[in-house]
């Protein structure tokens, strides 16, 4: 999602993983990602995005979801996955961010 690099936006990537390696990778790619660890999936559960036993070893995982939140903390764009094969098109996310205005 490097298309978002110049948009003046903070990307927070959330998973149960400890994310040291992901963060190193993001720095190498200069992608404006911060990786947050939701170790017990408490936030994922509170957001209603828990896919119970959805991991490849039957672990609980998050339903892949992308949320654009404006400066006032309001959800302005949302995509929830119905299939693990599908991810949002970064140009759609970038467009949603641009439409927020400044």
Partner 1 sequence: MIRYWPALLSVLLSLSAIAGYYVFLRVPAVRNHPALYLVAFAIAAVIAGAATWHAARWPNFVALGLSAVLLILGGYFNFVLARVPATPTVLRVGEPAPGFTLPDAAGAPVSLASFRERVPVVLVFYRGYW
By CB atoms closer than 10 A (0-12, 13-18, 19+), residue 75 is exposed
Taking alpha carbons only, the member of 31, 51, 33 closest to residue 41 is 51
Binding mask 35-64 for partner 1 (x = CB under 8 A): xxxx----xx-xxxxxx--xxxx-x-xxxx
Residues between 6 and 25 with contacts to partner 1, criterion CB under 8 A: 7-20, 22-23
- The residues of the shown chain that bind partner 1, judged by CB under 8 A, are 1, 4, 7-20, 22-23, 33-38, 43-44, 46-51, 54-57, 59, 61-78, 80-91, 93, 97, 100
């Amino acid at each position: 999602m490097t298309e978002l690099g110049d948009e003046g936006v903070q990307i927070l990537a959330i998973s149960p993983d400890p994310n040291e390696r992901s963060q190193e990778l993001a720095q190498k790619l200069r992608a404006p990602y911060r990786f947050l660890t939701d170790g017990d999936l408490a936030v994922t559960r509170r957001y209603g995005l828990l896919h119970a036993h959805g991991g490849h070893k039957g672990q609980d995982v998050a339903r892949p979801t992308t949320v654009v939140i404006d400066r006032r903390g309001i959800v302005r764009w949302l995509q929830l996955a119905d299939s693990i094969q599908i991810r949002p098109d970064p140009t759609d996310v970038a467009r949603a961010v641009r439409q927020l205005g400044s």
